[in-house]
Amino acid sequence: MTSDNSVLVIGATGKVGSRVTSSLAASGHPHRAVSRSTDPTFDWEKPATWAGAMDGMRSAFVTYMPDLAAPGAPEVIEHFATIAKAEGLRKIVLLSGRGEHGAELSEDTLAQSGVDHVVVRASWFNQNFDEGMLQPSILSGTLALAAGNTLEPFVDVDDIADVAVAALLDDRHNGKTYEVTGPRLMTFADAAREISSATGRQVNYIPLSVEDFHAALLPEIGKDGADLMANICAEVFDGRNEWVGDGVQQALGREPRDFAEYLRIAMASGAWRQVA
């Protein structure tokens, strides 16, 4: 279904995009959910797919893959914004990463595009532990990461989606950049301890050097993926993000969910069933 306020959700099968899609569907808001596996398809690596996905849409929620910190991302976002403008999109809500220099370049590119925009700049997701790349680590009982003892205000993906939907549907958010974080600074050792307590199975955090982390990732995700993840960890876990943002409060007028609430909901929904 399309209408004069239809929303295009890019990355709609992902952790954030699926929640944005569900929320729009629940309120009956016209939208189109796309990724590489949908019809119409949308592929960041195939610009020829973009205009077809945008047809009839008036705004877009953008999950860029693999990451706005990846080489070449600002150029892709610039190209995307140009096509979006030509196709009649009036607003882009961009999911961004907190403390990533490359992501800020993409944010700047979007700001200069002339399309109304909102940046949802998120900290490390809670759901990385049960829906994302860290799920196998939690199941194995060893969480090895190049994050040292850095403090991180883990954010709940449900909060990110709520902010994104508000930004999409209400033009009073236009031009804003929301630093979306959870309410509490925690180390990854704290997170492992709380997950252990919730699941009843021990999860140990092992801080790795960036070099050892890169070497561990190499056989799993290849050089480009390992370079990207190692560079992101070196950047965002150097202390720059050791503060709590107020993006959820600013956008929604309520407090963000705590990690304990995330664990309660994750356990109730059967997360890490193999370890519970």
Ligand X SMILES: NC(=O)c1ccc[n+]([C@@H]2O[C@H](COP(=O)([O-])OP(=O)(O)OC[C@H]3O[C@@H](n4cnc5c(N)ncnc54)[C@H](OP(=O)(O)O)[C@@H]3O)[C@@H](O)[C@H]2O)c1
Among the listed ranges 10-18, 52-60, 107-115, 207-215, the one in contact with ligand X (CB under 6 A) is 10-18
1, 4, 28, 45: which one binds ligand X (CB under 6 A): 45
CA dihedral 189, 191, 193, 197 (to 10 degrees): -170
Q: Strand runs (DSSP E) across the chain, as ranges? A: 7-10, 31-34, 59-62, 91-97, 116-122, 142-145, 177-180, 204-207
With CA atoms as reference, report the closest residue to 154 among 126, 118, 190.
Answer: 126
Q: Which of 3/132 has CB closer to ligand X?
A: 132
Residue 122 Cβ, how far from ligand X at the closest point, in Å? 4
22, 30, 43, 210: which one binds ligand X (CB under 6 A): 43
Residue 36 binds to ligand X (criterion: CB under 6 A): yes
Residue 241 binds to ligand X (criterion: CB under 6 A): no
Q: Which of 17/207 has CB closer to ligand X?
A: 17
Cβ contacts of 12 within 8 Å, gap of 6 or more: 18, 20, 21, 33, 34, 35, 38
Q: Which of 16/168 has CB closer to ligand X?
A: 16
Task: Point out which residues pair with 91 in neighbouring strands.
Answer: 59, 116
In order of 4, 37, 77, 131, 170, the CA distances from 113 in angstroms are: 21, 28, 10, 33, 20
Residue 193 binds to ligand X (criterion: CB under 6 A): no
Among the listed ranges 36-44, 143-151, 184-192, 255-263, the one in contact with ligand X (CB under 6 A) is 36-44
Distance between CA atoms of residues 118 and 56, nearest Å: 21
Please provide residue 267's backbone torsions phi and psi, each rounded to the nearest 5 degrees. Answer: -65, -40
Residue 14 binds to ligand X (criterion: CB under 6 A): yes
Among the listed ranges 77-85, 120-128, 162-170, 189-197, the one in contact with ligand X (CB under 6 A) is 120-128
Among the listed ranges 51-59, 85-93, 119-127, 191-199, the one in contact with ligand X (CB under 6 A) is 119-127
Residue 122 binds to ligand X (criterion: CB under 6 A): yes
Q: Which of 62/166 has CB closer to ligand X?
A: 62
Q: Is 83 helix (H, G, I), strand (E, B) or coil?
A: helix
Among the listed ranges 22-30, 117-125, 145-153, 245-253, the one in contact with ligand X (CB under 6 A) is 117-125
Residue 33 Cβ, how far from ligand X at the closest point, in Å? 9
Closest residue (Cβ) to ligand X? Answer: 14
Q: Extract the tokens encoding 124.
A: 């490390």
Residue 65 binds to ligand X (criterion: CB under 6 A): yes
Residue 113 binds to ligand X (criterion: CB under 6 A): no
Please provide residue 96's backbone torsions phi and psi, each rounded to the nearest 5 degrees. Answer: -125, 170
Distance between CA atoms of residues 12 and 40, nearest Å: 12
Contact residues for ligand X, defined by CB under 6 A: 11-17, 35-37, 42-45, 63-65, 67-68, 95, 97, 122, 124-125, 128, 132
